[in-house]
Amino acid sequence: MQGIKCPHCDKRGVSVATITLHIKSRHPGMPHNEYYDEMNDEEYLKLLLLTEKCFDNPYM
């Protein structure tokens, strides 16, 4: 899974929220809403299914 990529250091995150927090904490003063989304539709579907399983079973 490619994920979301920080444009400043190429770090990858699973979600927009994680990469936004990374940019805010590691690159202060830089725009936190600029990132590269490298996931395709199939990867989004896999992530959605995994998230749904985690909500169904919090001990997963």
pLDDT of residue 55: 59
Choose among 60, 54, 53, 4: nearest CA to 32: 4
Mean pLDDT, rounded, for 42-57: 69
- Token pair of 42, please? 């199939």
In this prediction the pTM is 0.55
Mean pLDDT, rounded, for 4-16: 81
Q: What confidence tier does 18 reach under pLDDT thresholds 50, 70, 90?
A: confident
Q: How many domains does the chain have?
A: 1
Is residue 13 within a helix (H) or strand (E), and if so which, with residue range?
strand 12-13
- Asked if residues 19 and 27 have their Cβ atoms less than 8 Å apart, the reply is no
Its domain, for residue 21, covers 4-56
- Asked if residues 47 and 14 have their Cβ atoms less than 8 Å apart, the reply is yes
- Statement: residue 2 has pLDDT above 70: no
Q: How many angstroms separate the CA atoms of 40 and 4, rounded?
A: 11
Q: What confidence tier does 58 reach under pLDDT thresholds 50, 70, 90?
A: low
